[in-house]
Structures are given as structure tokens and as C-alpha cells.
Chains A and B, each alone.
Chain A
Amino acid sequence: MPRLTLVTAGPLGRGYLERLAWRLSTVLPHAVIVAGAPLNLSPAWDPERGQYHSTRILELLARGETGEEGSRTLGVVGEDLFVPILTFVFGEALLGGPAAVFSPVRLSPTFYGLPRNKDLLLERSLKEALHELGHTFGLYHCPRDCVMRASANADEVDLKPARFCEACARALPA
């Protein structure tokens, strides 16, 4: 069975990771495990932007993952992420593997001044995690009713389902 290793960094809500790991294990064929030690993010910090550079984090994560038999490493980072040309990114992935990263920071309604909603945050996190992992299996954005649909804001994340369409699901390991 392929492994999915969750590597954490930054502040995450209590119970959040366990619930996310459980939900991922129900959708993916992977055995989901949580890495013992958190990732040191300091090489990815950009003092000018006051954010973390997601591509740097991907490089750190990819070092530990061989990608054997469909195994992947997913960074779950409780800090705001960016790539140089964009104001922020929800996440980023190495197209075709072996690592991906996403941040729940801008998925939380509290970021937009709305009331706290743990269930919504988990649902959005599950979708972003699946989406970025989809990229590691070589998937591009998909126009169907599918988690691989592009979403550039949190509301658009709500509009897609937390599953792969039939065509995209074929790219996942069996």
C-alpha cells in the first residue's frame, strides 16, 4: 500500500491534523501517517513579504520522499504561503510528484473576518490537500465537477466536491 506522510509546520488547531488524516485516508488508497517531527520552515521565510515561500518548502519536503510506489509527502503548514509573483497561494505541488504543500490559513473563515467554523475549515483543507496531491500524480486542472478544478479564492473551494472525477481518479495509484 502506498504511503502518504503528513509533515506539519506552524500553528495548527487541536485535533485538526487527526481529522484531516482520517478524511484523507477515506478518499485516497494511501496509508496515511503523520511524521514525528515538524518541519523547520526558517529557510522558506521571506522577511520582506512576511510570508513563507511555498516552493522552498516543497524542496525541503521532497528531500525526504522517494515517491516509491505512489508514496507522497504532504506539508500541512499553518502559515501564509506565497510564490514571488503572487500575493499568496493556497498550496503548491511538484507536478508528477513526490511532494505537495498547502496552508489552512486562508481557508479559515476567520481570516476573512467571519465566524470560526471548524467543519468548513476541515472540508476546505481536505479539498486543497486532495487537489495538490492530484498534481503530484500528474493531474492538471479539470473543468468537471472535480476536486482538480482550479480555485483562486476560498469561496470557489466550496464549490467543488472533495473527490476526483472518474477521469482524474484513474491517475491515482490503485
Chain B
Amino acid sequence: MDKASILVVDDEKVVRDSLTRWFGEYGYRVSTAGSGKEALGLLSERPFDVMLVDIKMPGMDGLELLRRTREAVPDAVVIIMTAYGTVDYAVQALKQGAYDFVKKPFDPDDLARLVEKALEHRGLVAENIQLKRSLDQVSQFDDIVGDSPEMRDLLEMVRNVAETDSTVLIVGESGTGKELIARAVHAASPRRYMPIVPVSCGALPDTLVESELFGHEKGAFTGAQYRRKGKLELADGGTLFLDEIGEISPKTQVDLLRVLEERAFTRLGGHEVIHVDFRLITATHRDLEQRVAEGKFRQDLFYRLNVVTLRCPPLRERTGDIPLLAEHFMKKLSRQMSRRFELIEPEAMELLQRHPWPGNVRELENAIERAMVVGTPPAIRARDLPVPGPAGGEGAARPGGTSLAAVEREHIQRILLKHRGNVTRAARELEIDRVTLYNKIKKYGLRRE
């Protein structure tokens, strides 16, 4: 593939070297020249997509080089590099057709954005993305597990809606995987090579939502020591995913509505109008229509968000998927925890399929994880699952509670009893070393006999 070419013109070797390495990481073809004369020599041999030119050089300075370059190549994209105190020259350079200018030393963020913009201007970025799209055919739905009719319908809708640029509202109880669905929509959409930016609206205090979404300038408020991009800006070109949208305040509802209408905003404490192009996906576990009826959610915003609705079914409506899901989590967690679990005992599977799962898929994953922490490979057993079993059975309600610590304490106590307080044997069965076991006995205040 043809990579973009960049010519760096600067009399300082460290600048040439640094930029060569930095652009090299992007895969750009970088050439350098130590003077205007040398640069013109290179330009006479071949064109460059973007030129970065230092304004102050001995002999031919940057302005002179800019003039001569534009005589020879009228559509050359030249970015002027200025040092402290040469901004006046930079303004002059813009008048003479420079594409833009940057002040040394550069903020990497500014430089990256500027060069990307310049290349986009040359039509190069779009081309590259197109090429990569045709090369890439990876389906990214791997994380969504389920073969039930409910899930098949949902995925079918995901595929259809992904192609469009419509705003999507995802509804469903907590733990049903609304974020995964949002990611699936993004991954199957033409925006897939740009980021998906998630914001959990419910987790943020109202005062922070604004700065989180819109970003802020340096000094916008106490503690704002640096300029910070907001999520809207980070999502430019990609997808913005607002989770728990039902929780946002009336003020943020107004702000958001305005951004959706104008596709532009300003950072807190700033004046520059920033234009953004993103796809919006929102999610909620609440009944938004009811919130609208109660006057807690703006109707006009609701209509803007609710163009297409995807519903994530609760786990109890697709119990047929439970075995697939349980095995998926077992395999995934085995890799992550380096504990080789290979099967789920039939008794345990029965228990999993009978449980109502008020916390949905997330609760199921947590249950498998706990069973793998307290249990012994290679099988997940009913008694290690933190779900109530048949009355009086071994997996019945746990007296010590269901926190991980409580389950661990109880399990260690049981193993200790089994080995009549023999720490060496208990440690062997628990697959931990004796020192760790002693520490846990002390921590939990356990009896050894």
C-alpha cells in the first residue's frame, strides 16, 4: 500500500531525527532536508504529500521556501513550524498559502491532528481507510453468545441498523449486555475504524458530566491544569455511546439536544466552535416513555434518541442460551485466570438453568467466576456456585454471605475440616502454597481442627 510521504525541512538535526522517528511509527515515508536549498532539490525529484517547514533557517528561510515551493507545486500542503516569538511570520505564511502552522515544541495531540487533517485534505486518509475496509472481513460479534430465536432476531437487527447511520436506543434490564450490543452496532458500521467512545452517564456526578462530554480549556475551573478533550470530540468520526441516558439531568438534556441539532459545541471555558460528526447510541434500563410522561425526560430529546430501538432480552427469556453462555465464560475466565477448568458438572448446569438471574448475563458471569475461584479444576461443581440449590442440598443458601471473601472463607474452612487441620494437605488441595494458606487462616480467623 502506498504510504503518505512527508518532507521535514529544518536546520536542526535533532528536530529532523525526532520527527522522522515519530512519523515513522505511523508508517509514513519521511524525508528530511537541512536547508531550503536541499528541500527544493528533493522537490524537483518527486512530490510530497505534506511538508513541515521550519520558519527560521539560515540562508533561505521558511517563507522563501514556501514561496518557491508554491510556484513549482501550487497545491503543495505546507505546514510551518514556528518557535517562540515568530508567530507574526506564521501569520504572513498563512497569507502566502501555508496550510497551517504549529508552535515548537508541539503537543503530540496537535501535531497528529494537524497532519491527519492535512492528509485528509489531500484525500489520502479516506483512501487508506477504504482500502483497509475491503481487506478486513472480521466479524466482531464473538463476544455475544446465544443461539436462541430472541438473540438471532436481535443480531439480525444489529446488522441491519449498523449499515445506516441512525441513532439507536438500546433498552433492557441491567446486565443484559447493552454495551456489547452497542459495540456490535459500531463494529459492523462504516465507522468501525474510528473509535467508539462510551460514557456512563449514571456513574458521573452531574457537575462532571459537562466537562466529561464537552471537555475544557486550561484554567476553565479550579484544577483544570490542562486542556482536555471531551468525549464528544474523541468520538469525532466514530460512535458516541451514552449508557444510562435516563439518568442525565434536565440541564444536560438541554445541552445534549443542542449538540444533536447543531453538531457543534464549545469546550468549557473556551470559545472555539468545534464541529463533530458522530453516530449516537444510547442505552437505558429505564422506561424512558414513562419518564417522559412523568416530566423527568424531555420529549423532544426522547424522539431524537429513539429513532431505532433495540431490546436486549433478559436471560430468563432465553434460558436455552445458558449452557452456551456458561461454557463461554468458563473458557474465557480459564484463560484470564490461568486455571484450567474444562467442564461444568450436569448438576451445576441444572442449577444454572433453574436460577431466575435477576442480574442477567453479568450475574451469570460473576457466578461462574466465583465458582472457579473457590472450586478446584477441572470441573465447575454445583456446590461452588453462589446460587441457591434445591432445598437442603449442598449448594443451599450460604450462611456466611455471598461476597467473594465469604465464599473463600467458607471453602477454606471446609477443606481444612476435611484434612483435619493438616495445612500441608489442605494447601495441596487448594493449589496454593502453605504460607498463603497460613495467611488466609489468620486473615479469616479460622479454626484448624
Measured CB to CB, the residues of A under 8 A from B are 26, 55, 82-89, 92-93, 95, 112-113, 135, 140-141, 143-145, 149-150, 152-153, 155-156, 159-160, 165-167
Contact = CB atoms under 8 A, between A and B. Distances in A.
B25 A83 contact: no
A87 B26 contact: no
B109 interface: yes
Contacts of B338: 26
Given A85-B106, A86-B111, 13 more contacts: A55-B17, A85-B104, A85-B105, A86-B18, A87-B105, A89-B108, A113-B224, A140-B25, A143-B132, A144-B132, A150-B112, A152-B109, A155-B228
Contacts of A150: 25-26, 112
Contact of B15 (A26, A84, A87, A143): A84
Report the interface size class on chain B. Answer: 35 or more
19 contacts: A55-B21, A85-B19, A85-B22, A86-B22, A86-B107, A87-B107, A88-B108, A95-B24, A113-B223, A113-B225, A141-B27, A149-B195, A150-B26, A152-B109, A153-B109, A159-B195, A159-B196, A165-B138, A167-B136
Interface of B: 12, 14-15, 17-19, 21-22, 24-27, 104-109, 111-113, 128-129, 132, 136, 138, 140, 187, 192-193, 195-197, 223-226, 228-229, 231, 234, 335-336, 338
A53 to B, nearest CB: 9
B228 A112 contact: yes
Nearest to A153: B109
Contact of B112 (A95, A152, A159): A152
Given A26-B338, A143-B193, A152-B112, A92 B21 contact: yes
B25 A141 contact: yes
A159 B240 CA distance: 11
A23 to B, nearest CB: 10
A37 to B, nearest CB: 27
A87 B108 contact: yes
A26 B105 contact: no
Contacts of B17: 55
Contacts of A165: 138
Contacts of A166: 138
A157 B3 CA distance: 24
B22 A83 contact: yes
A40 B197 CA distance: 39
Contacts of A26: 335-336, 338
A95 B105 contact: no
Contacts of B113: 152
B187 A159 contact: no
- List 9 tightest A-B contacts by C-beta distance, closest first: A140-B27, A152-B109, A83-B18, A159-B195, A84-B14, A113-B223, A152-B108, A152-B112, A85-B18
